[in-house]
Structure 1
Amino acid sequence: MQITASQVKELRERTGAGMMECKKALTEAGGDMEAAIEAMRKSGAAKAVKKAGRVAAEGQVVVAMSDDARKAVLLEVNCETDFVGKDENFESFAAAVAERALAEAPADLEALMALEIDGKSVETARQELVAKVGENVQVRRFVRLDSEGDRLGSYSHGVRIGVLVDIAGGDEELARDLCMHIAASRPVCVDQDQVPQESIDKEREIFSAQAAESGKPPQIVEKMVEGRIKKFLGEITLLGQPFVKQPDISVGQLLKEKGASVKRFVRYEVGEGIEKKAENFAEEVMAQVNAS
């Protein structure tokens, strides 16, 4: 029988499983929703579903780069503990997914999860990994860059921070130095032209209120505000920041000296933006005792 998109959507919402897994289960169950759910609970997918609600804020950021440095992927895969994040099965899975994303250029995360690694979909491999390591594992996000300049640079700080930078001019060493700077200094964007005007207006409003309390004349207050806005832009923009390896010059000055420019950059850090659950150890032990 014909399996509709709405059926697949409903099963995904009820189980938390992947699209391909849901479609397969519905097909095998002849479209019977409850039978599909029961079958998934009996299969390896059941363990993945049971763990889907756990907070996965550890893991790895992986970089995959083409030999000519013209294409690259930055990928974050999460798990629950640092221990599993260093597990060889987890590492192999993350690396394999990054390489597939580099080779196939999927349009989005759903397309990536449908790609095959070792004869099975990424989603199926993820669920099997969940069953093996006993933790929630999620492919959280990825970005694939095709260079708009002369080359891409990359840098990984352990497995927790990954950076890609797209530059025109310069050389491989400069590209790596820029990546290391971005990893350490966390710029928000390349230059002030990329800073949203509403962000600048908000900071100006805050600075104006602070400066007005000084009791100084309006013209002095205005100069104080403009000085703080300039400092703010210097702190959040790559070109305005002091270069970490040579703090007496800005990154913008460094690029000018090298005859280079930055087209764009991406910085991922494991778990950023994920709210980690604060655990009370005594309560956790008691919960385990009560459950036994």
Structure 2
Amino acid sequence: MAEITAGMVKELREKTGAGMMDCKSALNETKGDMEAAIDWLRTKGLAKAAKKSGRVAAEGLVGVVADGTRGALVEVNSETDFVARNDQFQKMVSDIAQVALGVEGDLDKLLATTYPGATKSVKDYVTEQVGTIGENMNVRRVASMSVSQGVVAAYMHNQVVPGLGKIGVLVGLESAGDKAKLAELGRQIAMHIAATSPLATRREELDPAVVERERNVLIAEAKESGRPDNIIEKMVEGRIRKFYEEVVLLSQVFVVDPDNTVEKAVKNAEAGVGAPIQVVGFVRFALGEGIEKAETDFAAEVAAAARG
């Protein structure tokens, strides 16, 4: 058997784009035969997966699952919306969302957990599917929510199949009241969150840096008016209150009931539920948010392909 050197591993990695350890394993399995090692990596889907891994994956699906007092959200990305419509991809995202119920929002733990019905981890299963489906895919993020009593309600906007879509929301309601009525209220609030994208549940939870940045912008705008400082101060405070009403969930006008804020609507619902209700918090995932999509020139791509 040929000695497997670091240079051989490096060469195989450059030819296939596969990971160092995978390249070393391939060379060991094929007794140092470079071409056979390339074929070994291809049959495992590893070379193909590695080559795809540099491409931007900003499409895909958000998956949401709620089970009584707990819920989870995941975002699994693909390169194209076409793959997101693939039954195989959809099943994978649904399965991963179910796994996410047990990992308390820990992405590393999710990736290391055994994939349902398989003998490999979620991470390895996704890598295998990259080779099968032919696109870069990755589990980008996960979040979870739980309450001691009450409900965690879920809502999926632009749903393609149950629990999968483009914008997923979880909202936690802590209450000893009627579970069915709580679940309906929670769903309505989750729909509201999907539409308005609040930054925090209540004022004191809003990032002080966000408030300070907004205040500085408002001060600069107000100074342009040339008014005295005491008037500017009152103007800014009024606009900051308006800012809270726009970005804080409980202060927002409830889209389901525009005559009330979300806080007032929750208070009004307590009589029907039969107990006090506390909005514990929420999580909102919008597909691809924060990912810089590569700008492509389609005409240039066609021209390049024609040149071979």
Q: TM-score range by the shorter chain?
A: 0.7 to 0.9
1:105 and 2:103 are equivalent in the alignment: yes
Greater Cα shift, 122-131 or 37-46: 37-46
Q: 1:16 to 1:163 in 2, by over 3 A?
A: farther
**Whole-angstrom distance in 2 between the partners of 1:17 and 1:155:** 39
Match of 2:173 among 160, 167, 178: 167
Q: Give the superposition deviation at 1:93.
A: 0.6
Segments of structure 1 that go 5 or more residues without pairing to the other structure are: 1-9
Q: CA shift at 1:250, angstroms?
A: 0.9
> How far apart are 1:272 and its partner, in Å?
0.5
Instruction: State how far apart, in whole Å, the 2-side matches of 1:113 and 1:236 are.
Output: 33
1:64 match:
65
In the TM superposition, residue 26 of structure 1 has moved relative to its aligned partner by 5.3
- Please point out which of 294, 297, 302 is paired with 1:280: 297
Distance 1:115 1:266, change over 3 A: same
Q: 1:199 to 1:261 in 2, by over 3 A?
A: same
Partner of 2:49: 48
Q: 1:239 aligns with which of 243, 250, 253?
A: 250
- What corresponds to 1:85 in structure 2? 84
Letter in 1 for 2:109: A
Separation in structure 1 between the aligned mates of residue 235 and residue 289 of structure 2, nearest angstrom? 33
Name the residue aligned to 1:7: none
Mapped partners of 1:235, 1:289: distance in 2: 51
Number of equivalences: 273
User: Equivalent residue of 1:188, what SS?
Assistant: coil
Kindly report which structure 2 residues correspond to 1:120-131, keeping only aligned pairs within 5 A, or say none. 120-131=120-131
1:245 aligned partner, one-letter code: V
Equivalent residue in structure 1 for 2:212, among 175, 195, 201: 201
CA distance in 2, matches of 1:26, 1:143: 35
- Which residue of 281, 284, 293 corresponds with 1:264? 281
SS in 1 for 2:139: strand
CA displacement 1:129-183 (0-9 Å, x = unmatched): 2122221111111112222451100001110010000112361110000000000
The code of the aligned residue for 2:169 comes to: V
Rate the CA distance shift 1:121–1:24 in 2: closer, same or farther, 3 A.
farther
Note if 1:145 corresponds to 2:149.
no
Counterpart AA for 1:71: R
Identity of aligned pairs, percent?
A: 40
- TM-score, with structure 1 as normaliser: 0.84
Of stretches 109-118 and 82-91 in structure 1, the one that deviates more from structure 2 is: 109-118
Residues of 2 paired with 1:65 and 1:270: CA distance? 19
On the 8 A contact 1:153/1:175 being kept in 2, the answer is yes
Give the drift of 1:43. Answer: 3.0
Q: Secondary structure at the match of 1:189?
A: coil
CA contact (8 A) 2:152 2:173 kept: yes
User: Separation in 2 of the partners of 1:107 and 1:162?
Assistant: 15
**How far off is 1:28 after superposition?**
7.3
- In the alignment, the residues of structure 2 paired with residue 264 and residue 123 of structure 1 have an alpha-carbon distance, to the nearest angstrom, of 29
1:251 is the counterpart of 2:266 = no
Q: Structure 1 residue 42: deviation in Å?
A: 5.9
Shift of the 51–262 alpha-carbon distance from structure 1 to 2, 3 Å rule, reads same
Contact residue 161 and residue 270 of structure 1 kept, 8 A:
yes
Distance 1:211 1:183 in 2: 32
Quick one: distance in 2 between partners of 1:124 and 1:271? 22
Partners in 2 of 1:245 and 1:233 — Cα distance?
A: 19
Q: 1:27 to 1:130 in 2, by over 3 A?
A: closer
Q: Is the 8 A contact 1:89 1:129 kept in 2?
A: no
1:215 offset after TM fit, Å?
Answer: 1.9
Partner residue, 1:289: 306
Deviations 1:191-239, CA, capped at 9 Å, x for gaps: 1101122222221121111111212232221111001101111111101
Residue 190 (structure 1) aligned with residue 196 (structure 2): no
Q: Cα RMSD (Å) of the superposition?
A: 2.8
**Counterpart among 240, 253, 258 of residue 229 in structure 1:** 240
Structure 2: any 5+ residue segments left out of the alignment?
Answer: 1-9, 160-164, 176-180, 271-276
Q: Match of 2:239, as an amino acid?
A: R
Alpha-carbon spacing, 1:200–1:245, altered in 2? closer, same or farther (3 Å): same
Post-superposition CA distance 1:52-99 (Å, at most 9, x none): 011111111111222xx1121101111111111011010011111111
